[in-house]
């Protein structure tokens, strides 16, 4: 599908738009940083019975313009870009779904621009970088043993990655970490289906700087629009505790825990993921 190029805050962002024009947009934010919208492959496509999917390549990533100044590669600017995307689409009413790093962006936007989005879905994120501090200890104890060094090396390699090919290799080698079952038989198919155009410069910068250093925990009460928080019971990166803290801090927020998932519930429990997200969107968008 040919992407749309949207002028947003002095750059152009690429969006793969799917679904009927009469439906409200759901702006979908990928993880990474440095990945692109292909992370979601076609897993979210059934939601086009409820929303128009706007699968965004965030600033300087994917097919978006790569010449956006490096000092604008920040969590705050990417959050500000979300509203810019809605304006470029001419959408008065929209929702946001962010996964992993995209969840950081979605949460930051909900705090920085309360009520700008009609609703936000925060999937496998954290409200504070303190919840990422346990990753090294978890890596040291990761099982199965025969994958431990591979996964440790993939995390260590992020701060030095230089080429898209190296980025793709690191993601493939790291992916077992992100599934509840590191030997999940669906892993090879997901890796094949989700490979996109990677941004090694963005990953290198963020991996050396705490992946955006989100510090939103003290500001959660600023969120005014409905929020759905999604978590995997066995998420090694963004632990369930982080999602529970987000829900406790956002008035009226809903929490759904995927009991058989790690960091990738839309792949690990796709039917449940779609049902939960669709039900929430229908309740808030009508």
* Integer CA distances (angstroms), 48 to 21, 43, 52, 250, in order: 10, 11, 6, 28
Backbone CA torsion sign across 102, 107, 108, 110: positive
What's 4-132+210-285's CATH class? alpha beta
Query: Regarding predicted confidence, which is higher, 2 or 82?
Result: 82
Q: Which residues pair with 8 in a beta bridge?
A: 11
Token pair of 158 as six digits: 């992020």
Q: Check: CB of residue 60 under 8 Å from CB of residue 198.
A: no
pLDDT at residue 1, as a whole number: 65
Domain positions in the chain: 4-132+210-285
Give me Rg for the CA atoms of the chain: 17
The DSSP symbol for 24 reads P
pLDDT tens string 224-264: 999 999 999 999 999 999 999 999 999 999 999 999 999 99
pTM > 0.75: yes or no: yes
Of 83, 96, 100, nearest in space to 212 by CA: 100
pLDDT tens string 173-206: 999 999 999 999 999 999 999 999 999 999 999 9
* Integer CA distances (angstroms), 53 to 45, 119, 182, 242, in order: 8, 14, 30, 27
């Amino acid at each position: 599908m040919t992407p749309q190029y949207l002028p947003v805050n002095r750059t152009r962002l690429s969006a793969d738009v799917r679904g009927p024009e009469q439906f409200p947009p759901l702006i979908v934010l990928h993880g990474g940083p440095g990945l692109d919208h292909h992370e979601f492959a076609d897993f979210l496509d059934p939601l086009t019975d409820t929303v128009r999917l706007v699968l965004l390549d965030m600033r300087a990533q994917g097919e978006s313009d790569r010449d956006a100044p490096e000092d604008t590669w920040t969590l705050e600017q990417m959050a500000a870009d979300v509203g810019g995307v809605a304006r470029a689409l001419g959408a008065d009413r929209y929702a946001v779904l962010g996964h992993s790093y995209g969840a950081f962006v979605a949460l930051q936007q909900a705090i920085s621009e309360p009520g700008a989005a009609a609703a936000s879905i925060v999937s496998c994120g954290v409200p504070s970088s303190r919840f990422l501090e346990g990753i090294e200890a978890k890596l040291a104890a990761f099982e199965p043993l025969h994958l431990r060094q591979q996964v440790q090396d993939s995390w260590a390699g992020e701060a030095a990655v230089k080429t898209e090919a190296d980025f793709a290799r690191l993601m493939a080698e790291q992916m077992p970490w992100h599934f509840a079952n590191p030997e999940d038989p669906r892993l090879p198919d997901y890796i094949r289906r989700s490979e996109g155009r990677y941004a090694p410069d963005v990953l290198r910068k963020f991996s050396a700087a705490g992946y955006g250093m989100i510090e939103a925990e003290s500001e959660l009460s600023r969120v005014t629009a409905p929020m759905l928080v999604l978590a995997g019971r066995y998420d090694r990166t963004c632990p369930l505790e982080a999602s529970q803290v987000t829900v406790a801090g956002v008035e009226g927020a809903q929490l759904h825990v995927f009991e058989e998932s790690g960091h990738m519930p839309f792949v690990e429990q796709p039917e449940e993921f779609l049902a939960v997200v669709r039900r929430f969107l229908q309740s808030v968008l009508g």
